Structure 1
Amino acid sequence: MDNLIIKNIANPHELERIFRKEPEVFKNSFSHAWEQNPDSQVLAVWNERLHFKETANTEKASLLQKNFLSMGILAILAGISTRIIFHFVEQQAIAPINLIFGILPFIAAYFVYNRTPKKNVLYTLASLFLISGFYINMLPLEHKDSIILAYLHLPIFLWVVLGLAFTGNEYRNGSTRLAYLKFNGECGIFYASMAISGMLLTALTMQLFRFVGMDISQFYFKNVVLFGAAALAIVTAYLVSRNLKLSKNIAPYIAKIFSPLVLITLLVYLVTVIWVGKNPFLDRNFLISFNGILISVLAVTIFSITESGIDEKRSISDYINFTLIFLALIVDSVALSAIVFRLSSYGITPNRLVVLGVNILIWANLIWIMLSYMRFLRNKTGPSTIQDAVTKYLPVYGLWAAFVTFTFPLIFD
């Protein structure tokens, strides 16, 4: 082999062919050829090529070890914090929504540690988490509509804050925001997969202890399941951010399979609704389910856009997404009309105002996405316009969630 290397020293194409055919043999024989021709520039390049990977792997291993250690510490802290918060929730000293502070701040800390944002971004993140935690615990522990709405909207607001931690200094960049949405989809898939494994382990553990006459269900839930659920969120963030192939390979296929199934289901449901004569204007529960469908369809569409991607070449997935958006817009228009009718007929309440606001926001977002898709399908723009319609609207949802969380308990006190 070393003779072949020396013989073809002036033939880069042949050297590359020999290497690709038998890379290990090539590497083993190269050192002898290099010793015989130390002045060859061609072999000098090959020497760097063959041995650079060892240095790169060493640096990568060092970085991986550093990130793994930080992930482990944050996962343990998240588990401990969640267990402590749960103790106070049990004592009815604080609201259950505080459990979110046992997870999201630590995921944000992991992003900050690995991305090192500017001080103004860091201070903004810390301030928003601290203010949110302080404010939500200043509210009375009452089951009033305005306070429950604040509890429901706080996770949405903090999810957008977490997005700031993920994007860091590039929070204005549309592609970075799109990466955050993809990260959420992949995290959801991987977390669910690992959670199922954890549930099986829990069931097995419970049964094993029952065989010896011990019921450890309460202890196990408080000290193992709760801790594990919180820590797993940090571990999942770490694994997905390390470009784990499992979630990245599965997510696009789920998006491509799930979108047409949702489209068929929605079409059948809408036809059935018209057939049986259900009226969202008069039936409150049906109106709530209508809004649930709307939010689900929007989530599926965004998931499909971010995970399956949009190529310059139009595909059947693009037409399915466009149809889903169009149907969702019809559902939202009907829901908006029903909400306005109920407001004018039965008066203003915090719940009705929130539903109205959410539907207006979604309606505007769907219009933007649909118009972008129409221009894309007519070859007037590229896929970036659709991605912009998805990513640039995210802060609007965060602002609305912040408005409901921080003002409704004061306005409707």
Structure 2
Amino acid sequence: MMEQHVELEAQIGRWRGYVQRRQAISPADIDELEDHLREQIADRQATGLDDEEAFLVAIKRLGNLDAVLREFAREHSDRLWKQLVLVPEDSDGAGTPPWRELAVVLALAVGAGLAVKIGTIWLDDEAVLARNLGLLVFPFLGAYFAWKRRLTASVAAMLLIPFAALAVVLNVYPFVPGGSTEVLAILHAPVILWLLAGVAYIGGRWRSDNRRMDFVRFTGELAIYFTLLALGGAVLVGLTFGALSVVGIDLEPVMEDWIMPFAVPGALVVAAWLVEAKQNVVENIAPVLTRVFTPLTIVMLLTLLAVFTAAGGLVDVDRELLILMNAILVLVLCLLLYAISARDSLAQPGLFDALQLVLVIAALAVDAVMLTAMLTRIAEFGFSPNKIAALGLNLLLLVHLLRAAWLTVGFLRGRRPFGALERWQTRYLPIYGAWAAVVILAFPPVFGFA
């Protein structure tokens, strides 16, 4: 009986995932629709049907899903996603006018650029500026999410308190200039800031697995849009530079002093808005991207593993190579998360799921070799902030990937629902934030701020 209820929850989870991916209604309305589905299931169970029969009958009683979504769309037309147009042609006056949101986004983008520009003037020390760069941009991205989600005062306080604490630590700690703990703080601060942005994005509902997965999906889509904006901007700037150089005008000082400080943070805010406005467009591309890059990444990992193994004794492995492999493992994890978020949870196991398992196993092999190399170097040369930070990250990755591999095997064999794999990814994410906090808060005093 317990197994039946577990399977019922898995079926409801897959149904909810399908509804979410249609992007026609808000999360609150999805909750309402799910409640209606559960009521229908309970009614059918009361007549003596088992879980599976009650679920199937309840789904049929709800009617065609597209019709349900159209009904919700008519009742909540102000919440519909609009694709392929920046400003909808029709507006019934409900909700926020599209032009107002565009104005808010542009104002926040310019504000982020101004904050970075002022920071480059006031914080003339490059290390100090690097420590504060994320702190200068995050308030504007967080402000967009707060405005978009209409955050409550309690959620806003939940964001401001850790943000203020991080700002104090990064600017009060007496870091040794150019020291390892300062570099580690610079590298780990964006992790905490991004998780805070995630809390703002999901409206403070951090305990919801579905909303966390929404943020994972948003992060992948943001990376796509930001890259497209960066590439497009680079082409335009390059053409402009080339044209003006013909007449003897050098724009390099303008590029360094004005274009970059405004373009990069501004593009981040604009990309976030584009994800919100054009979500379905990217979701159509996401499965294609993951299917292209997953096999390519597998080949890359196997090649790097062979090169890494053939590099000689583990003690003699170049430090820069270890750092590079660490970065590659993080990128592999990001690809895995985005692939899971982009997958239709209702689909049956297939070839691509098997490829993902191969990807995870290859990443585990690389991680195991790296951990061996790190432990060997620590035994030979002793502890250092960088070594401990890298060791901790690789242990976290090892646990994450091992569990992901186990759940993927269970899914491929039909013993576990895909939702179990999704929940593991989203519930493990805060662990990385906790580790980043340890590196920023504890490492500097422990290692004398060096």
Q: TM-score range by the shorter chain?
A: 0.7 to 0.9
Distance 1:232 1:278, change over 3 A: same
Cα shift readout 1:17-47 (whole Å, capped 9, x = no counterpart): xxxxxxxxxxxxxxxxxxxxxxxxxxxxxxx
Q: Which of 365, 377, 381 is matched with 1:342 structurally?
A: 377
Q: In structure 1, what residue type is equivalent to 2:266? A: A
Does the CA-based 8 Å contact 2:113-2:263 persist in structure 1?
yes
Does the CA-based 8 Å contact 1:361-1:397 persist in structure 2?
yes
Q: Which of 159, 182, 185 is matched with 1:125 structurally?
A: 159
Cα shift readout 1:162-195 (whole Å, capped 9, x = no counterpart): 1111122311111111111111111111111111
The alpha carbon displacement at 1:55 in A equals 7.8
Report the counterpart of residue 75 of structure 1 in structure 2: 109
Q: Which of 246, 251, 255 is matched with 2:286 structurally?
A: 251
Does the CA-based 8 Å contact 1:150-1:405 persist in structure 2?
yes
Report the counterpart of residue 233 of structure 1 in structure 2: 268
The structure that has the greater radius of gyration is 1
Segments of structure 2 that go 5 or more residues without pairing to the other structure are 1-70, 79-90
Report the counterpart of residue 44 of structure 1 in structure 2: none
Report the counterpart of residue 357 of structure 1 in structure 2: 392
Report the counterpart of residue 406 of structure 1 in structure 2: 441
Percent identity between the two aligned chains: 28
2:164 pairs with 1:164: no
Report the counterpart of residue 291 of structure 1 in structure 2: 326
Q: In structure 1, what residue type is equivalent to 2:228? A: S
Report the counterpart of residue 262 of structure 1 in structure 2: 297
Report the counterpart of residue 420 of structure 2 in structure 1: 385
> After the TM superposition, which of the residue ranges 224-233 and 384-393 deviates more from structure 2?
224-233
Cα shift readout 1:81-130 (whole Å, capped 9, x = no counterpart): 11111223445583323222232221111111111233222101112222
Does the CA-based 8 Å contact 1:153-1:405 persist in structure 2?
yes
Counterparts in 2 of 1:135-150, with a 5 A limit?
Answer: 135-140=169-174, 142-150=177-185
Does the CA-based 8 Å contact 2:311-2:317 persist in structure 1?
no
TM-score calculated relative to the size of structure 2: 0.75
Secondary structure of 2:188's match?
helix
Report the counterpart of residue 105 of structure 1 in structure 2: 139
Q: In structure 2, what residue type is equivalent to 1:65? A: W
Q: In structure 2, what residue type is equivalent to 1:75? A: A
The alpha carbon displacement at 1:263 in A equals 1.1
Q: Name the CA distance, whole Å, in 2 between partners of 1:55 and 1:352.
A: 54
Cα shift readout 1:290-321 (whole Å, capped 9, x = no counterpart): 33332232222222212244444011111011
What RMSD in Å do the two structures reach over aligned CA positions?
A: 2.3
> After the TM superposition, which of the residue ranges 187-196 and 391-400 deviates more from structure 2?
187-196
TM-score calculated relative to the size of structure 1: 0.81
Q: Name the CA distance, whole Å, in 1 between partners of 2:76 and 2:282.
A: 28
The alpha carbon displacement at 1:396 in A equals 0.4
Does the CA-based 8 Å contact 1:86-1:96 persist in structure 2?
no
Distance 1:290 1:228, change over 3 A: closer
Cα shift readout 1:192-242 (whole Å, capped 9, x = no counterpart): 111111111212222333233222311233222321221111111011012
Q: In structure 1, what residue type is equivalent to 2:408? A: Y
Q: Which of 121, 127, 135 is matched with 1:87 structurally?
A: 121
Does the CA-based 8 Å contact 1:105-1:129 persist in structure 2?
no
Report the counterpart of residue 320 of structure 1 in structure 2: 355
> After the TM superposition, which of the residue ranges 199-208 and 351-360 deviates more from structure 2?
199-208
Q: In structure 1, what residue type is equivalent to 2:105? A: M
Distance 1:273 1:341, change over 3 A: closer
Secondary structure of 2:414's match?
coil
Q: Provide the aligned length of Structure 1 versus Structure 2.
A: 362
